[in-house]
Chain A
């Protein structure tokens, strides 16, 4: 007989055998499915730092402030089905960059939209999830609308546990169809109506390595097709499609002695526009006393520029070009802190995050920083209630 003492799957093997018994499978499944109705609310205050006045040639220095209300409902529908409804309502004020121009001295300067805009965004989605003995399947639809924008999206998701319970496969397919009708301003020649498709899929494999450690690796593919330019930039010409690939790895490790969960998430991203990015996030979830948890985290991000990124706009250049900072080379560091108070019937939550981006944070050195790189502060408060 094999000596299975060192086998971390011993528990999984036993549980797998037990789950073959209908009575135990029934209860296990009921445990996985939400048995209570839960409602959640989050309010987020997002504030971008103003742009340096000496980088703005024309227009406002004030960047976006966004207030967001999120609502969530999770409810069991009968024995094997759950319904999740998410709604989000945001109001935005602030100005955005129209153009980056080069001064005769070789300095990159911004032309901002003149007045502070005010916009609203509403996003609603619903998911039906069906549970069976070894996983679940879900279908979801969503609708999102803004002053100049309308989108529908849908997705199919599934999750499968292996018979021994050690590995879980999950995967999904999603689509989104977006219509843009940019706000028109006198004297500016903008497109009037454009659209784009987005389809994406992922597959992931999670594995339990020990009673305190589990990991997940995933592959993601995304494909945009249609109008991908920024209609509010004075000169912004991008390819009509964008193919994305990302691989991700996540780890969750529990330190039993001090009751802390250590999270490490890494993602490598690459697309056919030439953008490649590394994202690493580490979080420490420390239980202080029963029901009270504090979670500091740090996130590092670095990307390379798109092939057609330009440091400054030029009305005479041909071909694909954009001075959008999102396509520029840079890096970003975010520090966050979460605080949660958890009781059987309710939870109270508080999160803060400070996000700073800088060309100097990029993995590779950058010669000219985009002047519009964003820094922001995010604060979220929320509560969940279960009944």
Chain B
């Protein structure tokens, strides 16, 4: 087996500047691009929940994956 040699590494522990980064991943194996928040089924669950609530109360059709029991007095 080949041994492993480092090409690294200066790990700058000192307070670096704030570097932007993507937020936490969805799943362990969904790394890289799949783990980006905008690749989630619902990037913003609060916004999705609210829009679903609007569509459900204003349209004839309703339901779908993840639909909970939530009721609404839509009439």
Contact = CB atoms under 8 A, between A and B. Distances in A.
Nearest to B43: A285
A197 to B, nearest CB: 10
Contacts, number: 212
B60 interface: yes
A291 B19 CA distance: 10
B54 to A, nearest CB: 7
13 contacts: A15-B31, A35-B24, A44-B50, A151-B73, A202-B63, A211-B32, A218-B64, A232-B75, A250-B41, A252-B34, A301-B59, A301-B61, A382-B46
B67 to A, nearest CB: 6
A206 B66 CA distance: 13
A244 B62 CA distance: 8
Given A161-B27, A214-B34, A216-B65, A153 B71 contact: yes
Given A144-B71, A153-B69, A172-B68, A211 B46 contact: no
Measured as residues with beta carbon below 8 angstroms from the partner, the interface class of chain A is 35 or more
Contacts of A165: 27-29
Contacts of B14: none
Nearest to B72: A144
Q: Which of B23, B28, B37, B51 has the most CB of A within 10 A?
A: B28
A342 B71 contact: no
A154 to B, nearest CB: 6
B23 A344 contact: yes
A200 interface: yes
A222 B25 contact: no
B65 A29 contact: no
Closest 4 CB pairs of A and B: A28-B28, A153-B69, A149-B73, A174-B69
A19 interface: yes
Given A36-B24, A44-B50, A172-B66, 11 more contacts: A11-B31, A34-B24, A174-B70, A206-B41, A211-B33, A214-B39, A220-B64, A248-B65, A261-B39, A275-B60, A275-B61
